[in-house]
Amino acid sequence: MRRIINRRPGRGGIVFWGALPFLGAAALYAVASALRLAENPNDKLLPPLSAMVATVARLAFTPDARTGDYLMWADTVASLHRLGLGLGVATAAALVIGIAMGLIPYVRAGLSPFVAILSMVPPMAVLPVLFIVFGLDELSKVVLIVVGVTPFLIRDLAMRTGELPAEQIVKAQTLGGSTWQIVLRVVLPQMLPRLVDAVRLSLGPAWLFLISAEAIAATEGLGYRIFLVRRYLAMDVILPYVAWITVLAFVSDYLLRLFNARCFPWLKAGKGSA
């Protein structure tokens, strides 16, 4: 009998073991739901799959009686718009400030203590401030995402830029590069994939901030809908919405990973050989 640390699953095994927790969770839900419904057919806590499918069909494929919108799509568009805007602004700011902090000693000396402290401010704690300052509509939700994600992105990028071998920067100077040229041709191309990775890591927090802000003040959006129907115990809406948000987050993460692999072929060239 070989040690378990030396035994590896084959291709089929990887699929099987990967699928097992999903199937287990689904089975557990089906059993629990069936048990509760057998006791009380009007139970709202664990609705059957059929009820959830019907609800999704109503929300996604029939226009709302009051507004004429397809609610689920309207919610999705509103949420993705806020998320995209927030992450876009955060990424752009982090790119400029992070690279400047990592490369230029004076900028680092000036900004790094400030950014270090700023990144410790809990974003949710300043949400009331944002509502007061920016009002209750779109801007404050976008700003919350920006406030929550930017310090992390800046610090990550500044550290990565600082980790570039000093030899590379010196070499670029001996090739006649000015600071601007070195940023453009040496630092930026090597930092973009790192930034994309950092954005991938911050997708989770970004969704957290978005849903929190939507829960408190919004008229549409995925988070808004979940918290709206909570008061009716409408699990048949909440659970599909949660699953949908998860799918959206997963897909955006996957697309960013694909973007890195496509646009930066040299990353893959580095793997395998020294």
Partner 1 sequence: MSHVSVHGLWKEYPGQVVLERVDLDIPSGEFCALVGPSGCGKTTFLRMLLGQERPTRGGILLDGRPLVAEPGPDRGVVFQRYSVFPHLTVLENVILGREFAGSRFLGRLFGARRRAAEEEAKGILAAVGLGDHLRKYPAELSGGMQQRLAIAQALILKPKILLLDEPFGALDAGTKAQMYELLLRLWSERKMTVFMVTHDLKEGFTLATRVLAFDKVRVDPTDPGAYGARITYDLLLTGKTAVRERLAATAGSSRETENRLETPVATH
Using CB under 8 A, list all residues that contact partner 1: 165, 167-168, 170-178, 180-181, 184-186, 189-190, 264-266, 269-271, 273-274
The structure tokens 């992450």 sit at 87
- Cβ at position 222, least distance to partner 1 in Å: 38
Query: Angle at CA 147, nearest 5°, toward 225 and 194?
Result: 105
- Cβ at position 153, least distance to partner 1 in Å: 20
Return the number of the residue (29 or 264) whose C-beta is nearest partner 1.
Answer: 264
The structure tokens 């640390």 sit at 5
- Cβ at position 187, least distance to partner 1 in Å: 10
- Cβ at position 171, least distance to partner 1 in Å: 5
Return the number of the residue (171 or 257) whose C-beta is nearest partner 1.
Answer: 171
Q: Where are the beta strands (DSSP E) in 120-201?
A: none
Q: In this structure, are residues 140 and 134 in contact, taking their beta carbons and an 8 Å threshold?
A: yes
Return the number of the residue (141 or 160) whose C-beta is nearest partner 1.
Answer: 160
Return the number of the residue (170 or 247) whose C-beta is nearest partner 1.
Answer: 170
Distance, C-alpha 161 to centroid of its chain? 23
Whole-number Cα distances in Å, 223 to 7, 13, 123, 240, 247: 44, 37, 17, 12, 15
